[in-house]
Amino acid sequence: MTNSLKIGVAGLGTVGVEVARLLAEKGPLLAARSGRPVELVGVSARDRNKDRGIDLSNATWFDDALALARDPSIDVFVELIGGEDGIALASVTEALGARKHVITANKALLARHGNELAQSAEDNMVSLGFEAAVAGGIPIIKTIRESLAANCVTRVFGILNGTCNYILTRMEKEDLSFEAVLKDAQNLGYAEADPTFDIGGHDTAHKLAILTSLAFGTRINSDSIYVEGIEAVATADIKAADNLGYRIKLLGVAVATDSGIEQRVHPTLVEKSSQIAQIDGVTNAVVIDGDIVGEILLAGPGAGGSATASAILGDVADIAAGTIRTPLGRPAAELKQYQNARMRAHEGGYFIRLNVYDRPGAFAAIASRMAEQDISLEHILQHQDDQDVVSGRQSVTLVTHETLEENVRMALAAIREDGHIDNQPQMIRIER
Amino acid sequence: MTNSLKIGVAGLGTVGVEVARLLAEKGPLLAARSGRPVELVGVSARDRNKDRGIDLSNATWFDDALALARDPSIDVFVELIGGEDGIALASVTEALGARKHVITANKALLARHGNELAQSAEDNMVSLGFEAAVAGGIPIIKTIRESLAANCVTRVFGILNGTCNYILTRMEKEDLSFEAVLKDAQNLGYAEADPTFDIGGHDTAHKLAILTSLAFGTRINSDSIYVEGIEAVATADIKAADNLGYRIKLLGVAVATDSGIEQRVHPTLVEKSSQIAQIDGVTNAVVIDGDIVGEILLAGPGAGGSATASAILGDVADIAAGTIRTPLGRPAAELKQYQNARMRAHEGGYFIRLNVYDRPGAFAAIASRMAEQDISLEHILQHQDDQDVVSGRQSVTLVTHETLEENVRMALAAIREDGHIDNQPQMIRIER
């Protein structure tokens, strides 16, 4: 019998407990599929005495994750501590240096330090698995890195945060405000008490940074991502988009352009007939455009203890089977410098919603400001309800043909300057 | 520099030519991603002098695929000859015996001989790659075998034949008959001159047989698949299904039940709101229900030279990276005997469409026949158009709650016997 693969798990929150439980329950299956027994031999967490509902008596307890990371008894260090620096970074660094394979679900850590950690894994000839860090149970890392190895990816985009998609889905289906759904999501445990990280788009940005590197062979660069959250999406936007044949999703998008790579996270109009538009609730989905294969979509549960544990155990099986792939798809030293495309140079369609004062000449002025910037319009939707009549305003929705973001921003600034609208105009990008 | 991985390609049809072309064009990318150069060194096909539009002068020509399969100059034998026996089987067997890695897109070969070929690959410690054999460019093999290694799959199903999905999609969207769309599909090259293999469900069955083995750890068994094609699907069925909130898709479904494994291929009603219902045209999609991860969907191009070549080159990259996984996910000798569940024992919902003579007592008789078999009904839809009035018939659509197939068949036989309907009743299974 082959020597078993010995696993140490640092961090015993929801995911860590699930991984520990499944290593026992699924041990025989993992052994059958990978050709090598796997076993949990060490764990580390803050509170030794907490009842976690599982029997950990066969695993050695470490008060210090660093000690577990370097302990000779383990072959694989599973980091589920969290945080982009601190003990997570220190223990992963320590484990790689001690020639342990590392598996992590920590997107913040990878978004910040992924290049160096990948380099260290290569130097030490060990694996750095992070399937669980992006889109939970969806096998997006292996798909881009291995299955699509011969493809040049031209674009990758997706719904990478379940909380945001849950909120937008309920806003649409139940005609509720952002604030109302957020509150309910917090009560149901779908959103954190401080939801900023999710709804502000930052979690999506971390995941996107990792996908971008794999897709385009560039160094991970999470500082250059343009990020807008979903806080400003109004039900009026969702309804107007619906009338025009679109849904609104928070997407992370990475595209190779002539001037560099666009990495952007923002609310996005997607055509109702598209597959990504069908992804509802907490489900995640990623679309990859490959130059050989065409368009592939992967959808599934993007978070939660089980889905995350499933991905981690897939990485465990790879290691047990003796598979060590270069973490970022090519040697870290060969990754290209990331070159950022400026958002002002982004070309695309735009959805614009304005509250226009109901007075002569207002439309003509708006139309001429758009024309000045060479923006041609695909749709104009004018809507006035009872409340608008009282307030003396009209809601006007415009959809532009492909145009430069810079021009849209300039036109909107001029329209605002003219004084025909009563607030900041809403501008949402369209992805086709 | 590492020794290059030397590839031989047997069969230079659309896919073979694309693989040869891409091995040259994408060589550097594959080397960067897998850590080892790859090169095409040998080819084999029937006609040496045919102009295939690519330069093959750097590859040695073999008139005989068997000679290429055993030639010391190659490390990997790519079989794109086709056919479940004959030269395809002989050359793959020869290559494995000569310790060459094998990659094939040949689902018929694997459906028939996959167990033995997997065993031979294991015995010879080489890889047998077949990502291209199921759902083209979609990485379904790696996903089930590797990413979901810790999951017990409870069900796998999908749209595995682009021709059928293209026909059903156009029938629905353009209100055209099966015959009319088939003819058009043949003219456009989406269907073969003899389309039986596709539209009869046999191609789907071959692919399903492979997925079933990977999903449930059983020996491949393609003889026990219940197969119905799409020939009998009428536009009246599609319309009635639409009214009830369903679309009709040809699905391959494998489910573990108490009495064994159901493997079935048949037209299926799927809820319009489901993701699989959104898969239109020649696109393929596979849904996997895993006990840990939940439901995952993968969608993309299921056929064509490029998508198939993309999958083949993914397998090449795995071999170049030194990854050898047990072909069927666990050792062939450990695969469980396949135990077939009888279709009569299938439990599910049923859509039934009857042409009922418009006379007193007909409905009562039908309803009592259903009741005799303990079948309870979810929907009854009665429809009479001008033509029906002339013919003295009514179209009646029934949707049952979960029930046994045996009972449905017996009820329909009795209804037919009673003489209240004018033809064979239509019965389509529902998948939820």
**Of B301, B329, B357, which marks where a domain is finished?**
B301
Strands A226-227 and A153-159: unpaired
Q: Same domain for A266 and A165?
A: yes
pLDDT, residue A190, reads: 87
Give me the pLDDT at residue B359, please: 86
Does one domain contain both A94 and A200? no
For residues A265 and A149, membership in a common domain is answered with yes
The answer to whether position B212 is within a domain reads: yes
The count of structural domains within chain B is: 3
Cβ neighbours, 10 Å, residue B105: 28
B321–A317 CB contact, under 8 Å: no
Q: Using CB atoms, pick whichever of B30, B150, B331 lies closest to residue A150.
A: B30
Query: Using CA atoms, how far apart are residues A348 and A157, in angstroms rounded to an integer?
Result: 15
As given in the structure block, the two tokens for residue B8 are 């031989």
Residue B387 in any domain: the answer is yes
Q: For residues A158 and A279, state if they share a domain.
A: yes
- pLDDT over 70 for what percent of chain A? 99
User: What is the per-residue pLDDT across A348-369, written as a single tens digit (0 to 9) for each?
Assistant: 999 999 999 988 889 899 999 9
Helices (H), A336-404: 362-372, 386-391
Of B146, B313, B322, the CB nearest to A150: B313
pLDDT tens profile A290-330: 999 999 999 999 989 999 999 999 999 999 999 999 999 99
When pLDDT is cut at 50, 70 and 90, the band that residue A189 belongs to is confident
For residue range A240-297, list pLDDT tens digits in order. 999 999 999 999 999 999 999 999 999 999 999 999 999 999 999 999 999 999 999 9
Tokens representing residue B131 in the block: 């990502």
Q: What is the mean pLDDT of each successive set of 10 residues along chain B, which is 432 residues long?
A: 89 97 97 96 96 95 98 98 97 98 98 98 98 97 98 98 97 97 93 94 98 98 96 96 96 95 97 95 97 98 95 98 95 94 93 92 92 94 75 90 96 94 92 93
Q: Is A199 exposed, middle or buried (0-12, 13-18, 19+ CB in 10 A)?
A: buried
Q: Which CATH number do you get for residue B111?
A: 3.40.50.720
**Residues in chain B closer than 8 A to A296 (CB atoms):** 137-139, 298-301
Q: Which residues of B touch A331 (CB under 8 A)?
A: 32, 35
- Whether residues A9 and A112 share a domain: the answer is yes
- Beta-carbon separation of B147 and A142 below 8 A: yes
Residue numbers in A near B311 (CB within 8 A): 147, 293
Q: What is the DSSP string of B273-293?
A: TSSGGG--TTEEEEEEEETTT
Chain B residues in contact with A323 (beta carbon < 8 A)? 146, 321, 323, 325
Catalytic annotation, pick one of B6, B100, B107, B207: B207
In chain B, whose CA is at the least distance from the CA of A307?
B293
Between chains, do B314 and A152 touch, taking CB under 8 Å as contact?
A: no
What lies within 8 Å, CB to CB, of A308 at 6+ separation is A15, A18, A105, A132, A136, A137
Give the chain A residue nearest B324 (alpha carbons). A323
Range of the domain at B387: 347-430
**Does one domain contain both A273 and A165?**
yes
Residue A109 lies in a domain: yes
The amino acid that residue A181 corresponds to is: V
B167: in domain: yes
How far is it, in rounded angstroms, from Cα A128 to Cα A103?
A: 6
Contacts of B24 in chain A (CB under 8 A): none
Is the pLDDT at A385 greater than 80? The verdict is no
The reply to whether A190 and A152 lie within a common domain is yes
**Are A146 and B142 in contact (CB < 8 Å)?**
yes
- Give the pLDDT mean for A107-129: 98
In a shared domain, residues A116 and A172:
no
* A25: exposed, middle or buried (Cβ count in 10 Å: 0-12, 13-18, 19+): middle
Which pLDDT does position A162 carry in this prediction?
A: 96
Return the CATH number at A209. 3.30.360.10
Question: A314-346 burial string, b = 16+ CB within 10 Å, else e?
Answer: bbbbbbbbbbbbbbbbbebeebeebeebebeeb
Distance from CA of B311 to the nearest CA of A (A): 7
Q: Which residues of B touch A142 (CB under 8 A)?
A: 139, 142-143, 146-147
Q: What pLDDT shows up at residue B260?
A: 94
Note whether residue A376 is domain-resident.
Answer: yes
Are residues B273 and B296 both part of a single domain?
yes
DSSP string, B235-276: HHHHHHHHHTTEEEEEEEEEEEETTEEEEEEEEEEEETTSSG
Assess whether A161 and A284 both reside in one domain. yes
In a domain, B333, yes or no: no
From the CA of A219, how many Å to the nearest CA of chain B?
A: 14
Q: Please, are residues A302 and A187 in contact by the beta-carbon 8 Å criterion? A: no
pTM higher than the cut 0.90: yes
What is the Cβ-side half-sphere exposure of residue B407, based on CA atoms within 13 angstroms? 18
- Asked if B146 and A300 come within 8 Å (Cβ–Cβ), the reply is no
Domain holding B353: CATH number? Answer: 3.30.70.260
In a domain, B195, yes or no: yes
Question: Closest Cα partner for A399 from A364, A358, A424, A432?
Answer: A432
Query: What pLDDT, on the 0 to 100 scale, is given for residue A110?
Result: 98
User: Which residues of A does the annotation mark as catalytic?
Assistant: 207
CB proximity list for B345: less than 8 A, separation 6 or greater: B257, B259, B404, B405, B406
B192 CA to chain A: closest CA distance, Å? 22
Domain boundary among A133, A161, A179: A133
Asked if residue A209 belongs to a domain, the reply is yes
With CA atoms as reference, the chain B residue closest to A288 would be B300
Cα separation, B321 vs B5, in Å, equals 10
> Are the Cβ atoms of B148 and A139 closer than 8 angstroms?
yes
Give the count of alpha carbons within 13 A of B188, CB side only. Answer: 11
**Which residue, of B133, B153, B186, is where some domain finishes?**
B133
And the tokens for A352?
């614009």
Average pLDDT, rounded, for chain A: 95
Closest CA to B270 of B192, B348, B207: B348
Q: In terms of domains, do B128 and B155 share one?
A: no
State whether A314 and B145 contact (CB < 8 Å).
no
pLDDT of A387 over the 90 cut: no
B271: left (phi over 0), alpha (psi -120 to 50) or beta: beta
Q: Using CB atoms, pick whichever of A22, A29, A301 lies closest to residue B294.
A: A301
Joined together, the tokens standing for residue A275 give 């597959």
Q: At which residue do the structure tokens 């595995």 appear?
A: B160
State whether A359 and A211 are in the same domain. no
Based on the residue annotation, tell me whether B207 is a catalytic residue of this protein: yes
Candidates B5, B293, B334: best to mutate against A (most CBs of A within 10 A) is B293
| Residue B183 confidence (pLDDT) | 96
